[in-house]
Amino acid sequence: ELKVEQNPLFLSMQEGKNYTIYCNYSTTSDRLYWYRQDPGKSLESLFVLLSNGAVKQEGRLMASLDTKARLSTLHITAAVHDLSATYFCAVDMGTWGNNDMRFGAGTRLTVKP
Amino acid sequence: DTAVSQTPKYLVTQMGNDKSIKCEQNLGHDTMYWYKQDSKKFLKIMFSYNNKELIINETVPNRFSPKSPDKAHLNLHINSLELGDSAVYFCASSPYGTSEKTQYFGPGTRLLVL
C-alpha cells in the first residue's frame, strides 16, 4: 500500500527564515502535487511536478521532485505571515487518463512576526 | 462563475438520517472525485467518476453511494448517518488525458452528525 509521509507535521517559524518541508512516498510515481489549505477553506493547487528533477518556483515557494529517491521538497524562502497554512503533498497513482491522488498528512505552517 | 461548487456548505443532522451532498463543476472536466477530510485534516479519496463511470471506489461503508447524472455533476448520498461520518467532504474535478491533471477542489461541505 502506498505511504505518503510528510515532515514535519507542524512547523512554526519566524518571518524572514528559510525552511524545507519533505514529502516521501513508498512506490513509483512521476507525478506529484503540492496544495495549500487555509483554515476552514478549500485546497488550492500550488505546483505540479511531472518528472524526475522537476523544479518549480512561485514567489517564496519552490518545489522539487526526485523520483529515484521518491522525495519531493517544498522550500520556503524568507517566510512571511501570509504563508501560514497547511501544505499537502499528493502522489498520483493513476493511469494516464485519470489521476488517483494519495495525500500526505499535511504540514501545518505558522509564520510568526 | 464558481468552478467547482458544493451544496450545502454546512449540514447538521441526527444519527440515523439520510442526507445528500451535491457537486457541480463548470470546467468541462471529465473526472470528478469525493474526498473526506477528518478532524485531523487527513484527506482520503472515496470515489472517482470519469464521464459518469465509477473509476475509484475506495473502502468506504456501503452507506455511501455516489451518483453521477452527467459528467458535470457528482452527488454523494449517505444513508443511516453515524457519528464517525462527521467530517468535511470535498468534491474535486480534473481533466482527462492530459499530463498535468490538476484536481480543482470545491469549497467543502461540513457535516456534523449529532
Report how far residue B65's alpha carbon sits from residue B74's, in angstroms, rounded to the nearest whole number.
10
Tell me the pLDDT tens digit for each residue of B26-44. Answer: 999 989 999 999 999 999 9
Question: Under a CB-based contact definition with an 8 Å cutoff, are residues B30 and B50 in contact?
Answer: yes
Distance from CA of B90 to the nearest CA of A (A): 8
Tell me the pLDDT tens digit for each residue of B73-86. Answer: 999 999 999 999 99
Report how far residue B28's alpha carbon sits from residue B43's, in angstroms, rounded to the nearest whole number.
24
Grid cell 502522489 in the structure block, residue: A91
Distance from CA of A62 to the nearest CA of B (A): 18
Q: Does B86 touch chain A (CB under 8 A)?
A: no
Determine the residue of chain B that is closest to A91 in CA distance: B102
Q: Which residues of B touch A50 (CB under 8 A)?
A: 99-100
**pLDDT for res B101:** 76
Q: Does A78 touch chain B (CB under 8 A)?
A: no
Q: Which residues of B touch A103 (CB under 8 A)?
A: 42-44
In 3D space, the residue among B41, B40, B77, B44 whose CA is nearest the CA of residue B62 turns out to be B77
| Residue B26: strand pairing partners | none
Q: Select from A6, A33, A35, A43 the residue whose CB has the most chain B CBs within 10 Å, as the one to mutate to test that interface.
A: A43
Question: Under a CB-based contact definition with an 8 Å cutoff, are residues B102 and A92 in contact?
Answer: no
**pLDDT for res B1:** 63
Tell me the pLDDT tens digit for each residue of A19-55. Answer: 999 999 998 887 899 999 999 999 999 999 988 889 9
Q: Does B50 touch chain A (CB under 8 A)?
A: yes
Cα-based distances in Å from A39 to A64, A90, A110, B41, B96: 25, 19, 12, 10, 30
The dihedral over CA atoms of B56, A4, B23, B32, expressed in degrees to the nearest 10, equals -40
CA dihedral over A42, B113, B68, A100, signed as positive or negative: positive
The share of chain B scoring above pLDDT 70, in percent, equals 96
| A73, containing H or E segment | strand A71-76
Determine the residue of chain A that is closest to B56 in CA distance: A100
Report how far residue B30's alpha carbon sits from residue B73's, in angstroms, rounded to the nearest whole number.
10
Question: Under a CB-based contact definition with an 8 Å cutoff, are residues A100 and B45 in contact?
Answer: yes
**pLDDT for res A100:** 84
Question: Cis bond leading into B8, ω under 30°?
Answer: yes
In 3D space, the residue among A36, A12, A7, A37 whose CA is nearest the CA of residue A24 turns out to be A7
Contact between A98 and B50 using a beta-carbon 8 Å cutoff: yes
Among candidates B41, B43, B94 on the partner chain, residue whose Cβ is nearest the Cβ of A99? B94
Q: What is the DSSP string of B41-84?
A: --EEEEEEEETTEEEEE-S--TTEEEEEEETTEEEEEE-S--GG
Question: Under a CB-based contact definition with an 8 Å cutoff, are residues B29 and B93 in contact?
Answer: yes
